[in-house]
Structure 1
Amino acid sequence: MKVLEFHELRAEDGLRLLVDGAIDERAALEPRLEPLLNALEAHAGEWMPDVVEGKRRRKYSRAAISKSLEEERDVGSTSIGLYRTRAPALDMTLSLGGTTSPAELEISVALQPLSFFSGAARCQEFIEMVRAWARHVLVTYAMAHGMADRQLSGAPYFGRDGRTSRKDGFDTIYEVFWLNVFGPKLVEMVGRERMLSTPAHLVEELPNGSVLLVLWPTAADFASEEARVVQARAHVHLRPDLDFDTVLSTLRERSAAFVPVEPRFHPDVAPFLSRLPDEFSIGERQRKIAELNAFRPPSPEEWLPAALPSDVENPERVLADYGVLSEGLVAALHTQVPSIMDETPESLTDLDFYFWRENFPERYKRELVDGHTAPALGAYLGELLVRRLGGTWVPRQKREESQVRVGHRVWLPFLRARRYMQSRQSLLDYSLTQLFKDAAKGNAGENA
């Protein structure tokens, strides 16, 4: 049963809900979860999960949940996943600890895209669900917000080291998100009267002493100026030690990170650079596009106006060795980069992206990179210049002097590959995509 996996979808923002609390351990497991499942089924609507996963995946039903819980139950904890096979994508986890009294309960929900929550009615149903959950769970803290902006806020550590964050949790009002449930301890720390007078869209005291606070009617509009002003006022109200102008300025900076930047990449490396932004978090993406727009790769210097004469005794054997090197690269990478078998210009772009994404030059040992990967890449690049641009090999005893004549210019593919494999930045400065495009332009001009 195929579910929607976030990493396989178009990279975009989503809504993240986290609930940290506890539940009465005296009751049997399934009755404890029944009110939560009732609320989920009543209010999820179009994002209702249709897959349950324990040891294996099943179509969503109460019986499937019971079976999954039974499979996952052990001495320490019980955890099941809930997913969807159709948009919007859902990644939901229910985790119940089994060694404390009351039992720890964690609920994690990620929904993509965030734009799914642009309407007030759908957001109201989401709020109703969280309200129902908070009435049946001893909530320590819960929040729902755009995933990218939550990350920019510094969550979950908020400047603390990981160990301290895990120990202390959300022990003060570090941030006020679109939806918040503050447990009794946080409410008393702030002051119940102050908490209930927070200027926000919704402030509601729950029967167990928690307070539900929603800043704005819709989750997807968190970055608007009006929503940011409300967010800043609420935060400063709950934390009088903070300065309103400073808080609002920080929120505005975060909103600016989401303003779309039109890609205007250098044409010689645009096929490569266009793939990079999606590898960064949503909050970093527009800034990275701007940086890549400004990037200008140095013009290729791995060429000569005239060929050096071949100085090898047996050119055929040397060229056969180059073929073995190229075939070795194909054999090593055909799974990770399937197009490498096609030996096309697009294959070079796929290789550029693969090596950059893997941070290959800095991740692997230098003796492997210099002794095997770079020479194999040089041979593969040279073969493409021969096969796709009608080039001719001019082998030399010193491998980096070996050339491929294309028209009236000769190229040095092994030298290019060595420079390319020096660092992650060098993958941009000396991309395979750029050198091939440069050689193709020169060849086309000569043949015009």
Structure 2
Amino acid sequence: MRHLNPWESKSADHLVLSFEGTFDSAAPVEDELGPFFESLEEYAGEWMPDVVSGKRVRRYSRDSVWKALRERRVERVTFLGLCRTQEPALDMSLSLSLPPLSPELSALIHIDSLPLFAGRAPCERLMEMFRAWALRYPPSHAFAHSSADNQLSGSPSFGRDDETVWRDGFDKVYELSWLNVFGSRLVETVGRERVLTTPAHLVEELPNGSVLLVLRPTPADFASEESRVAQARAHVHLRPELDFDTVLRTLRERSAALALVEPRFHPDLAPLLSRLPYEFAQSERQQKIAELNAFQPPEPEEWLPSALPSDVENPERVLSDYDDLSEGLVAVLHTKVPSIFEETPESLTDLDFYFWKESFPTRYLRDLIDSHTAPALGAYLGRTLVRRLGGTWVPRQKLEESQVRVGKRVWLPFLRARRYMQSCEALLDYSLTQFFREAERHRD
């Protein structure tokens, strides 16, 4: 059963929800977790999961949930995943800590995308769901916020080492999200009266001592000036030792870092560069787009105005060797780069992306790259010039002098491939995609 993956989405942001509460581990799991899923089913609306993932993937139902929790149970924990087959994409995990650990229920949810929560109705349903969960499973801390902004905030460590985070948790108000649930212990630490007088859209004291605090009606405009001022004002109210101007300046810097940047990539490399930002955390993507907008690769120099004459005794045998090299590359990479069979500009871009994503020049032995990968790439690149641009091989004894004649120029694919494989930076400076496009321009 195929489901959507929000991490493959090109949305600028997600809504991330985190809930950490307690439960009765001695009670039957169906009885104890039934209210959790009742609230989910009642309030999720557009983003309700329809797939449950345990050791098997099943359509969502309560029975599927119980089966998944039994399948995934190990000595001290059990967990499951929930997702969707239709937009919006969803990545939801639920884990239970079991005795001898403290019985804790943890839910982490990513919903694609944030604009889904620009209207009040889905936001109010979300508040109702958190309220119901907080009443049934007394939380230590819970929140809902922009995923990208949450990353920039330093959550969940906030500059602390892992041991301190594990020991202290969210023991003070390190950060304010759009929606917050403060457990009774945190409320007492901050001061109940102080928490209840926080300037915010909603401040509600729950019967178990927790407090639901919502900064604004919706989270979609979290980066606006009005929202940042409200966030800073509420944060400084809860942490009076903080300086308002300093907090607001930091929030404004985060907004600037997340401001959308229009892609203006080098035209030859746009098919490649447009894929790279989505390999970074959402909080880094706009900065990466700006960096790639400024990237100007050097013009290809691996060409000659006229061909060196072939100096091999048996050109047919040498060309057969080139074919063997190219086909060897296809055999090794066809499952990871399926388009490699096609020998097209698009397959070259897919190869560029694969080698960049894998950090290939730094992950594999240099001797292996120089003796096998680079020659195979050169042969494949040359064959693509021959097949797609009507090129003609001019083989040479020295591999890097071997040429493909296209129009009035001859191109040196083996030399290009060697330079390409020198470093991760070289994968962009000497991309296969740009080399092909340059040769294509000079075909006539």
Q: Same fold (TM over 0.5)?
A: yes
Q: Is the 8 A contact 1:356 1:427 kept in 2?
A: yes
Q: Secondary structure at the match of 2:108?
A: strand
Could you say which residue in structure 2 is the equivalent of 1:216? 216
Could you say which residue in structure 2 is the equivalent of 1:21? 21
Q: How does 1:58-69 map to 2 (within 5 A)?
A: 58-69=58-69
Report the CA distance shift for 1:69/1:285 in structure 2 as closer, same or farther (over 3 A).
Answer: closer
Q: Is the 8 A contact 2:6 2:111 kept in 1?
A: no
Could you say which residue in structure 1 is the equivalent of 2:164? 164
* Alignment deviations for residues 218-269 of structure 1 (CA, whole Å, 9 cap, x no partner): 0222111111111111111111121111111111111122322221111222
Report the CA distance shift for 1:378/1:117 in structure 2 as closer, same or farther (over 3 A).
Answer: same
Task: Supply the distance in 2 between the matched residues of 1:429 and 1:183 (Cα, whole angstroms).
Answer: 52
Q: Secondary structure at the match of 2:82?
A: strand
Task: Supply the distance in 2 between the matched residues of 1:11 and 1:410 (Cα, whole angstroms).
Answer: 43
User: How big is the shift at 1:101?
Assistant: 7.0
Could you say which residue in structure 1 is the equivalent of 2:396? 396
Q: Is the 8 A contact 1:11 1:278 kept in 2?
A: no
Task: Supply the distance in 2 between the matched residues of 1:337 and 1:67 (Cα, whole angstroms).
Answer: 36
Q: Is the 8 A contact 2:76 2:101 kept in 1?
A: no
Q: Does residue 358 of structure 1 match 2:366?
A: no
User: How big is the shift at 1:74?
Assistant: 4.2
Q: Is the 8 A contact 1:14 1:110 kept in 2?
A: yes
Moved more, 372-381 or 91-100: 91-100
Task: Supply the distance in 2 between the matched residues of 1:26 and 1:102 (Cα, whole angstroms).
Answer: 12
Report the CA distance shift for 1:322/1:163 in structure 2 as closer, same or farther (over 3 A).
Answer: farther
Q: Secondary structure at the match of 1:386?
A: helix
Report the CA distance shift for 1:363/1:17 in structure 2 as closer, same or farther (over 3 A).
Answer: same
Report the CA distance shift for 1:308/1:58 in structure 2 as closer, same or farther (over 3 A).
Answer: closer
Amino acid at match of 1:293: N
Q: Is the 8 A contact 1:24 1:102 kept in 2?
A: no
Q: Is the 8 A contact 1:81 1:91 kept in 2?
A: yes
User: How big is the shift at 1:100?
Assistant: 4.1
Could you say which residue in structure 1 is the equivalent of 2:262? 262
Amino acid at match of 1:83: C
Could you say which residue in structure 1 is the equivalent of 2:436? 436
Task: Supply the distance in 2 between the matched residues of 1:385 and 1:231 (Cα, whole angstroms).
Answer: 57
Moved more, 223-232 or 299-308: 299-308
User: How big is the shift at 1:27?
Assistant: 2.8
Amino acid at match of 1:309: P
CA RMSD between the two structures: 1.8
Moved more, 419-428 or 165-174: 165-174
**Which residues of structure 1 form unaligned runs of 5+?**
none
Q: Is the 8 A contact 2:272 2:352 kept in 1?
A: yes
Task: Supply the distance in 2 between the matched residues of 1:31 and 1:357 (Cα, whole angstroms).
Answer: 46
User: How big is the shift at 1:399?
Assistant: 1.1
Task: Supply the distance in 1 between the matched residues of 2:8 and 2:278 (Cα, whole angstroms).
Answer: 12
Report the CA distance shift for 1:336/1:172 in structure 2 as closer, same or farther (over 3 A).
Answer: same
Report the CA distance shift for 1:68/1:247 in structure 2 as closer, same or farther (over 3 A).
Answer: same
Q: Is the 8 A contact 1:24 1:101 kept in 2?
A: no
Q: How does 1:5-404 map to 2 (within 5 A)?
A: 5-100=5-100, 103-404=103-404
Moved more, 126-135 or 405-414: 405-414
Task: Supply the distance in 1 between the matched residues of 2:268 and 2:28 (Cα, whole angstroms).
Answer: 64
Moved more, 384-393 or 366-375: 384-393
Task: Supply the distance in 2 between the matched residues of 1:145 and 1:18 (Cα, whole angstroms).
Answer: 9
User: How big is the shift at 1:303?
Assistant: 1.3
Report the CA distance shift for 1:383/1:252 in structure 2 as closer, same or farther (over 3 A).
Answer: same
Task: Supply the distance in 2 between the matched residues of 1:168 and 1:256 (Cα, whole angstroms).
Answer: 31
User: How big is the shift at 1:125?
Assistant: 0.8
Q: Is the 8 A contact 2:76 2:100 kept in 1?
A: no
Amino acid at match of 1:335: T
Q: Is the 8 A contact 1:47 1:88 kept in 2?
A: yes
Moved more, 133-142 or 159-168: 159-168
User: How big is the shift at 1:210?
Assistant: 1.4
Moved more, 231-240 or 307-316: 307-316
Q: Is the 8 A contact 2:148 2:258 kept in 1?
A: no
Moved more, 404-413 or 228-237: 404-413
| Count of aligned pairs between the two proteins | 444
Could you say which residue in structure 1 is the equivalent of 2:410? 410
Task: Supply the distance in 2 between the matched residues of 1:44 and 1:314 (Cα, whole angstroms).
Answer: 70
* Alignment deviations for residues 368-419 of structure 1 (CA, whole Å, 9 cap, x no partner): 2111111101111111222222222222222112122222222111111011
User: How big is the shift at 1:420?
Assistant: 0.4
Report the CA distance shift for 1:66/1:295 in structure 2 as closer, same or farther (over 3 A).
Answer: closer
User: How big is the shift at 1:315?
Assistant: 2.1
Task: Supply the distance in 2 between the matched residues of 1:372 and 1:253 (Cα, whole angstroms).
Answer: 47
Q: Is the 8 A contact 2:11 2:113 kept in 1?
A: no
* Alignment deviations for residues 138-159 of structure 1 (CA, whole Å, 9 cap, x no partner): 2111111111111111111211
* Alignment deviations for residues 54-87 of structure 1 (CA, whole Å, 9 cap, x no partner): 3323333333333333334443122222322222
User: How big is the shift at 1:102?
Assistant: 5.3
User: How big is the shift at 1:11?
Assistant: 4.2
Amino acid at match of 2:344: T
Moved more, 384-393 or 295-304: 384-393
* Alignment deviations for residues 22-80 of structure 1 (CA, whole Å, 9 cap, x no partner): 11334332222122222222222222222333332333333333333333444312222
Q: Is the 8 A contact 1:272 1:353 kept in 2?
A: yes
Runs (4+) off by over 4 Å: none
Q: How does 1:420-435 map to 2 (within 5 A)?
A: 420-435=420-435
Q: Is the 8 A contact 1:20 1:105 kept in 2?
A: yes
Q: Is the 8 A contact 1:344 1:384 kept in 2?
A: yes
